[in-house]
């Protein structure tokens, strides 16, 4: 039975915080916790063992930061594969085949264009290499965990789906305002990841266990199984100690509400302990939990943008970019930027972008879509007779777009990326 089959049968228990736990067991400090897999393997195994004995069904590897960018900045890029191999190996040594070992990858630590320098291609290649190593070294699943940007998460998920054959848990870190750090709402994130093929949608952090009730309800609108990993509240400093306000029973107090929203994997993050997991296990064992089935009353046909979403089963107002552009297609990025600023001032629910009519096919579509979504938060429906250009637009888009499926190639692209399909143009 793989991890997805087990989650459909029952609610699985994840583990909790590990980095600080390991830090308390060792005398030497490191710039990045993942290096402890090499320098302090016994301490790492002790942490895994404590969570396993507390009742965890799944153990996350200490590899959240093990990507080339973060390791390069700390002078240990040459240990890249070794850190991942040891992170998985140490967990396997402790739990054997009695527990699922989940290879964990976090964000790269650099911003993507247009806010930073990372291109989609570079981001994709970095994740493809890293996630392939999890499969190579025996992970039971991969968790793309705690991402701050839906766009980076989307590219990481594409790299996972196109390069490995493991189950993929995929999700974002929730801020105090209930959104990602980049301002994307959790429903949009969850719907987008599910449409792209995520097996489980995850939410982590938040402002304690209570705050994750609303986040889990938002994620439930994807209709997918959910993983919930709250912090033990926002930490504060007392003297020389870091204190977390939530008690060790906080997650267990709200786990029934998480499960009602579709949670099938529940654990903890910063500030949680093996005792947190032990109490959670005791609580869930006393509950009557049925086999998983999506709550269809919560599932709607969503188009999603960076910070907005539209139900396509209701009336909505589209705005054609071609109407703004005029008779001649835009031929350079400066002119397109003027168009974007004008679009931002219009009231509409959805943008309709006929790429053939609005843009010269020499324009770099990744840059156009990135710049457009920086200023225009509404969802976009694309149309193009150029299959290569259409796929690049969909792949570059941050969210779940729509596609006018007026050709076989457009239909194939729409279904490959889980887009909303429209049989004819909107304008």
The residues, any chain, with a CB within 8 Å of residue 27's CB and separated by 6 or more, are none
pLDDT tens digit string along 114-154?
A: 889 999 999 999 999 999 999 999 999 999 999 999 999 99
Instruction: For residues 198 and 261, state if they share a domain.
Output: yes
- Domain membership of residue 195 (yes or no) is yes
Q: Output the CA angle 47-53-54, nearest 5 degrees.
A: 90
Lowest pLDDT segment from 48-62, 266-280, 295-309: 295-309
Instruction: For residues 356 and 309, state if they share a domain.
Output: yes
- Domain membership of residue 90 (yes or no) is yes
Collapsing DSSP to helix, strand or coil, 13 comes out as: strand
**Phi first, then psi: what are they for 15, rounded to 5°?**
-100, -165
Q: Output the CA angle 148-401-130, nearest 5 degrees.
A: 40
Mean pLDDT, the chain, whole residue set: 91
pLDDT tens digit string along 164-190?
A: 999 999 999 999 899 999 999 999 999
Instruction: For residues 308 and 392, state if they share a domain.
Output: yes
Instruction: For residues 306 and 294, state if they share a domain.
Output: no
Alpha carbon distance 401, 308 (integer Å): 12
Instruction: For residues 172 and 319, state if they share a domain.
Output: no
Alpha carbon distance 112, 147 (integer Å): 13
Instruction: For residues 17 and 164, state if they share a domain.
Output: yes
pLDDT tens digit string along 225-267?
A: 999 999 987 766 666 666 667 778 889 999 999 999 999 999 9
- Domain membership of residue 386 (yes or no) is yes
What is the predicted pLDDT for the residue at 242? 64
CATH number of the domain where residue 145 is located? 3.20.20.330
Instruction: For residues 34 and 142, state if they share a domain.
Output: yes
Instruction: Name the residue range of residue 49's domain.
Output: 3-298
Contact 186, 219 (CB under 8 A): yes
| In the chain, % of residues over pLDDT 70 | 96
pLDDT at 21 over 80: no
Element (H, E) at 64: none
Instruction: For residues 252 and 324, state if they share a domain.
Output: no
| In the chain, % of residues over pLDDT 90 | 69
What is the predicted pLDDT for the residue at 28? 65
pLDDT at 328 over 80: no
pLDDT at 330 over 80: no
What is the predicted pLDDT for the residue at 27? 63
Lowest pLDDT segment from 19-33, 99-113, 316-330, 384-398: 19-33
Instruction: For residues 272 and 331, state if they share a domain.
Output: no
178 alpha carbon, distance to own chain's centre: 15
What is the predicted pLDDT for the residue at 414? 96
The residues, any chain, with a CB within 8 Å of residue 125's CB and separated by 6 or more, are 159
pLDDT at 418 over 90: yes
Alpha carbon distance 426, 302 (integer Å): 16
Alpha carbon distance 341, 124 (integer Å): 29
**Phi first, then psi: what are they for 165, rounded to 5°?**
-115, 20
Instruction: For residues 340 and 265, state if they share a domain.
Output: no
Instruction: For residues 313 and 199, state if they share a domain.
Output: no
Helices (H), 274-407: 274-285, 321-325, 333-344, 355-358, 365-375, 387-396
Instruction: From 110, 146, 144, 151, select the one nearest 128 (Cα to Cα).
Output: 144
**Phi first, then psi: what are they for 201, rounded to 5°?**
-100, 130
CATH number of the domain where residue 413 is located? 3.20.20.20
What is the predicted pLDDT for the residue at 240? 65
Residue that has been written with the tokens 């269809």 in this structure:
296
What is the largest distance, in Å, between two alpha-carbon atoms of the chain?
69
Residues of 136-151 as b/e, b for ≥16 C-beta within 10 angstroms? Answer: ebebbbbbbbbbbbbb
pLDDT at 319 over 70: yes
Residue 22 banded pLDDT, cuts 50, 70, 90:
confident
What is the predicted pLDDT for the residue at 4? 96
pLDDT tens digit string along 196-232?
A: 999 999 999 988 899 999 999 999 999 999 999 999 8
Instruction: For residues 313 and 246, state if they share a domain.
Output: no
CA 99 → CA 23, 58, 140, 202, 245, distances in Å?
Answer: 24, 6, 9, 19, 30
In terms of C-beta density within 10 A (0-12 exposed, 13-18 middle, 19 or more buried), how is residue 252 classed? buried
Domain boundary among 268, 298, 328: 298
Per the structure, the count of domains in the chain is 2
Question: What letter would DSSP give residue 270?
Answer: T
Domain boundary among 298, 313, 341: 298
pLDDT at 412 over 90: yes
Domain boundary among 270, 298, 326: 298
HSE-up of residue 282 (Cα within 13 Å, Cβ side): 11
Lowest pLDDT segment from 6-20, 338-352, 377-391: 338-352
pLDDT at 388 over 80: yes
What is the predicted pLDDT for the residue at 241? 65
pLDDT (mean) for 289-303: 83
- Domain membership of residue 190 (yes or no) is yes
| The pair of three-digit structure tokens given for residue 293, joined into one six-digit string | 């089935």
- Domain membership of residue 427 (yes or no) is no
């Amino acid at each position: 039975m793989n991890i997805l089959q087990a989650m459909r049968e029952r609610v699985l228990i994840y583990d909790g915080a590990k980095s600080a736990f390991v830090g308390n067991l060792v005398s030497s400090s490191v710039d990045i916790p993942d290096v402890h897999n090499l320098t302090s393997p016994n301490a790492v195994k002790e942490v895994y063992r404590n969570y396993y004995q507390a009742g965890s069904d799944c153990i996350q590897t200490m590899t959240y930061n093990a990507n080339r960018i973060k390791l390069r900045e700390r002078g240990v890029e040459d240990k890249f594969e070794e850190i991942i191999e040891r992170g998985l190996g140490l967990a396997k040594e402790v739990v054997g085949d009695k527990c699922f070992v989940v290879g964990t990858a976090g964000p790269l630590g650099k911003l993507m264009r247009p806010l930073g320098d990372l291109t989609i291609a570079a981001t994709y290649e970095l994740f493809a290499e890293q996630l392939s190593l999890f499969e190579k070294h025996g992970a039971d699943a991969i968790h793309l965990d705690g991402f701050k940007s839906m766009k980076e998460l989307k590219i990481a998920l594409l790299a996972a789906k196109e390069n490995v054959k493991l189950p993929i848990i995929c999700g974002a870190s929730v801020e105090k305002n209930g959104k990602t750090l980049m301002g994307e709402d959790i429903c949009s994130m969850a719907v987008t990841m599910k449409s792209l093929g995520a097996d489980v949608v995850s939410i982590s952090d938040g402002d304690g266990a209570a705050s994750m009730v609303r986040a889990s309800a938002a994620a439930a609108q994807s209709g997918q199984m959910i993983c919930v990993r709250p912090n033990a509240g926002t930490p504060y400093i007392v003297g020389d100690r870091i204190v977390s306000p939530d008690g060790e029973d906080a997650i267990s107090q709200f786990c029934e509400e998480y499960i009602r929203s579709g949670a099938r994997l529940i654990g903890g993050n910063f500030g949680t302990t093996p005792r947190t997991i032990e109490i959670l296990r005791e609580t869930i064992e006393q509950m009557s939990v049925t086999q998983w089935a999506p709550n269809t009353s919560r599932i709607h046909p969503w188009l999603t943008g960076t910070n907005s979403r539209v139900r396509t089963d209701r009336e909505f107002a589209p705005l054609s970019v071609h109407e703004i552009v005029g008779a001649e297609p835009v031929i350079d990025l400066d002119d397109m930027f003027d168009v974007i600023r004008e679009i931002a001032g219009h009231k509409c629910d959805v943008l309709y972008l006929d790429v053939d009519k609005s843009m010269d096919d020499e324009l770099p579509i990744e840059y156009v879509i990135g710049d457009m979504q920086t200023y225009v938060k509404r969802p976009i429906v694309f149309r193009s007779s150029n299959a290569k250009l259409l796929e690049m637009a969909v792949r570059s888009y941050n969210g779940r777009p729509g596609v006018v499926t007026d050709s076989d190639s457009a239909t194939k692209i729409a279904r490959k990326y889980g887009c909303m399909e429209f049989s004819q143009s909107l304008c």
